[in-house]
Structure 1
Amino acid sequence: MSRPHIRHELSQLESNLRTEIGKLAQSKNISLDTQTGSLCELIAILTQAGLCEHPLFGQITQVDAAVCQLDIGLYGLCSDCENEIETERLDINPVEQRCTQCAKSHEHEHRQELRLKH
């Protein structure tokens, strides 16, 4: 996948998320202009509004991370082992942060943490 294609995919995801976050803000009576400002500013506002646990917050932070990685030349590298993430994984989810092996390990560890908390 070419860099312009990746940027286009991420831009589309960002646009869709900004629309959904706008709807969420409206439903929560939060004054928020989601169409202007950087992703960092949007994330900060959502944090101040106490919406860090909402799934849209996680999605917008993933898009922000992927855009930053693309800008610094690290897009497509696993956040854990730094090996390349399989192209198939990125085709399915362009904001994927882990290779298959590390994703399995992370999921297993996360399930263990959930068990310990309950």
Structure 2
Amino acid sequence: MNPETTAVPYERLGILIDGRWIYAAERSTEVVDPATGQTIARLPFAADGEIAEAVASSQRAFESWKDRSPLERGRILRRFADLARKHADEIARNMTRDQGKPLSEAIGEIRFAA
């Protein structure tokens, strides 16, 4: 195997809904590295019931979120931005693998979003 042409697979991908991971090999799609054309993972689709569960979970989360003070919400969003900056290199590598965009562009996108 030539390491320059062999895609390194992702770890197992799943969908997180209401704190529960869903791995559904029977209803999934390939994630293809655009640089090599190789499959690097399979990403599951949510079933109708799981979509309904995600919507309900989102509504519950919103009810809690809307009652938080602007100061508290700001602290949470700043923490998210800190984590995005801390893990920018790792996130950018995955974006590059998924989308084929240059690594420097992916890093810039993450830092801009943070």
Specify the TM-score bucket, using the shorter chain as the normaliser. Answer: under 0.3
Report which of the two has the higher share of helix: 1
Report which of the two has the higher share of strand: 2
Q: TM-score, normalised by structure 1?
A: 0.23
